[in-house]
Structure 1
Amino acid sequence: MTNTANPTNSEAWWQTLYDGTVAALFLEREPEQLQRETDCLARLLAVQPGASLFDQCCGTGTQALALARRGFTVHGVDQAAEYAASANAKAKTDDLKATFVAADARSYRPPQRHAAGYNWGTSFGNGLDAADHLAMLEAARDALLPGARFAVEFPNMIHLLGRFQAVLTRRKQLEDGEWLVVRECTIDHHHGALRQTWTILAPDGRRRSVDTSVRLYLPHELREHMEAAGFCEVQLFGAPDGTPLEGHHARCLAVGRAS
């Protein structure tokens, strides 16, 4: 699920970070988790099978393909051409009503408007430029029918900052062995961003490091950004069941209606 970072280095970081290995490490879901996520989306977006959905920053189509299997028609966009091609191949193999294109989510408008949409997995907020983030939300608004719901899934920065961890590690067993990911984090107080260095260690000892950043939008700032982009009745949730957002929730689910 990709977005852009700084204009000066956006191409370098996302093209270096997002490949097949990163998709396997971060974008794949266990069946139970994927079921919870798609249940959450259907509930938050108030849609039933048969509705058309827009997946902004779709990655390899993890949620989109699962929703298509549940009877939704899904159209996704992602900046990584490899990811869009992979998602299209899976949709064709399984004869699903899902299509994917490689394009810049800040400017991409699908050929038709949809009944609801979402931006999942911290695909929103990458980089430092608030104008880029506003443009992405405006593009999402234009992708939807008037009154359609749009959900943004983002870290609850109150929770993240209150329980800040400078180093996080993750191990995952893939076909070729165990991979290790080390994420080193710092707070950029001047720019209001979470700076991250991702070091990915392959089973054979190869390593690569990529620097990324995520804007530190507090929940009310995320709501204000959505309102500025043309969404109304924006609500903040801390759990898929509609629980209002509180400080102990790790994720923030912002849902608004396209005006």
Structure 2
Amino acid sequence: MPQTQQQTAVETPWWKTFYDDVAMAVLADQDPDVIRDQADTITRLTGLSRGQSAMDQCCGLGQHACELASRGVEMIGVDQSALYIDHAKRLARQRDLEAEFVVADALAYQHAPPVDVVYNWHSSFGYSSDDAWNQQMLHAARQSLRAGGAMLLEFPNMLHLLANFQTSISSTHPGGVSLKRTSRISASTGTLHQAWKYRMDDRSVRTHESSLRIYLPDQLIQMFRDSGFVNVNAVSPCGGTLAADSPRCVIVGSNPSDA
């Protein structure tokens, strides 16, 4: 989840307060089998193997980073939330894994030495309506990659989202947390706005708001190319051909071998 560097005065950096302890309870409620399948996709699309290095650009609670570390990958996880980085470190200790976790601004963080793979998973991109601001994250990712290294960006397939738009979704999570998420689209800014209403078992309520720039797969491909990546393609979350009815997509690119 990225921080901010230079944000326009009219746009609030919602992510600074969004990722709190309640959101953490929801994010922690992920099927371990799904995490393993997604790690399989990352390794399959990039060729990442034991002994190589990878950076999770917005690692959140560290589930993907720890899964890859368990496979012998040298992992670096980056996130703007100290709370979430602490959780990721605890998860690594519980699993007796070697992994590095850093509290940093993903828009600017550049790892040294460069890594073999950078990935950005689960919609941790496009938080601003300013395209140039969002693209800083791709620039930073490329600067952290070795020559010939691979970059993955996992993002909603907006073709599917727009065709199957739901204004309200409800879910329940461990710890007595229920969530109602309401959504609307701003046609003037091309942005998905969402209100997240959490109700706890003590009947207290907490509400957060978020926004996500609506990028179609071809627009993401162009942003990758504008950042200097080559061999850019959009695939399905399992690594196959991307179809319009796929809920999510993965953009794959390479740092030029002569970079």
TM-score range, shorter chain: over 0.9
**Contact 2:135 2:227 (C-alpha < 8 Å) held by counterparts:** yes
The reply on whether 1:14 has 2:15 as its aligned counterpart is yes
Aligned partners of 1:182 and 1:4: how far apart in 2? 27
SS of 1:133's partner is helix
Aligned partners of 2:233 and 2:246: how far apart in 1? 15
**Contact 2:229 2:255 (C-alpha < 8 Å) held by counterparts:** yes
State the Cα distance separating 1:31 from its structure 2 match. Answer: 2.0
Aligned partners of 1:18 and 1:251: how far apart in 2? 22
SS of 1:186's partner is strand
State the Cα distance separating 1:244 from its structure 2 match. Answer: 1.2
The reply on whether 1:244 has 2:245 as its aligned counterpart is no
Amino acid of the structure 2 residue aligned with 1:60: L
Aligned to 2:76: 75
**Contact 1:193 1:214 (C-alpha < 8 Å) held by counterparts:** yes
Q: Give the one of 201, 204, 210 matched to 1:203.
A: 201
State the Cα distance separating 1:85 from its structure 2 match. Answer: 2.2
Q: Which runs of 5+ in 2 are unaligned?
A: none
Alignment CA distance shift 1:26-1:7 (3 Å): farther
Aligned partners of 1:4 and 1:163: how far apart in 2? 31
**Contact 1:3 1:124 (C-alpha < 8 Å) held by counterparts:** no
**What is the Cα-based RMSD across aligned positions, in Å?**
1.7
Aligned partners of 1:44 and 1:28: how far apart in 2? 26
The reply on whether 1:161 has 2:162 as its aligned counterpart is yes
SS of 2:174's partner is strand
Aligned to 2:173: 172
Amino acid of the structure 2 residue aligned with 1:209: T
State the Cα distance separating 1:197 from its structure 2 match. Answer: 0.8
**Contact 2:108 2:136 (C-alpha < 8 Å) held by counterparts:** yes
Percentage of identical aligned residues: 35
Aligned to 2:58: 57
Aligned to 2:147: 146
Amino acid of the structure 2 residue aligned with 1:16: T
SS of 1:112's partner is coil
State the Cα distance separating 1:225 from its structure 2 match. Answer: 0.6
- TM-score normalised by the chain length of structure 2: 0.93
State the Cα distance separating 1:137 from its structure 2 match. Answer: 0.4
In the TM superposition, structure 1's runs of 4+ consecutive aligned residues that sit over 6 Å from their partners are: none
Offset from partner CA, 1:171-214 (integer Å, 9 cap, x none)? 1132xxx2111111111000000011111111111111111100
State the Cα distance separating 1:3 from its structure 2 match. Answer: 5.1
**Contact 1:3 1:105 (C-alpha < 8 Å) held by counterparts:** yes
Larger deviation, residues 87-96 vs 205-214: 87-96
State the Cα distance separating 1:93 from its structure 2 match. Answer: 4.5
Aligned to 2:41: 40
Aligned to 1:229: 227
Aligned partners of 1:27 and 1:140: how far apart in 2? 25
Alignment CA distance shift 1:2-1:138 (3 Å): closer
Aligned partners of 1:172 and 1:130: how far apart in 2? 34
Aligned partners of 2:190 and 2:122: how far apart in 1? 20
State the Cα distance separating 1:97 from its structure 2 match. Answer: 2.3
Aligned partners of 1:171 and 1:197: how far apart in 2? 16
Aligned partners of 1:53 and 1:173: how far apart in 2? 31
**Contact 2:58 2:121 (C-alpha < 8 Å) held by counterparts:** yes
Aligned partners of 2:172 and 2:94: how far apart in 1? 30
Tell me the matched-pair count: 254
Aligned partners of 1:10 and 1:99: how far apart in 2? 30
Aligned to 2:213: 215
Q: Which runs of 5+ in 1 are unaligned?
A: none
Aligned partners of 1:94 and 1:26: how far apart in 2? 19
Amino acid of the structure 1 residue aligned with 2:245: H
Amino acid of the structure 2 residue aligned with 1:243: G
State the Cα distance separating 1:90 from its structure 2 match. Answer: 2.9
Aligned to 2:27: 26
Aligned to 1:113: 114
Aligned partners of 1:215 and 1:258: how far apart in 2? 25
Offset from partner CA, 1:218-242 (integer Å, 9 cap, x none)? 00001001111111111111131x3
State the Cα distance separating 1:127 from its structure 2 match. Answer: 2.2
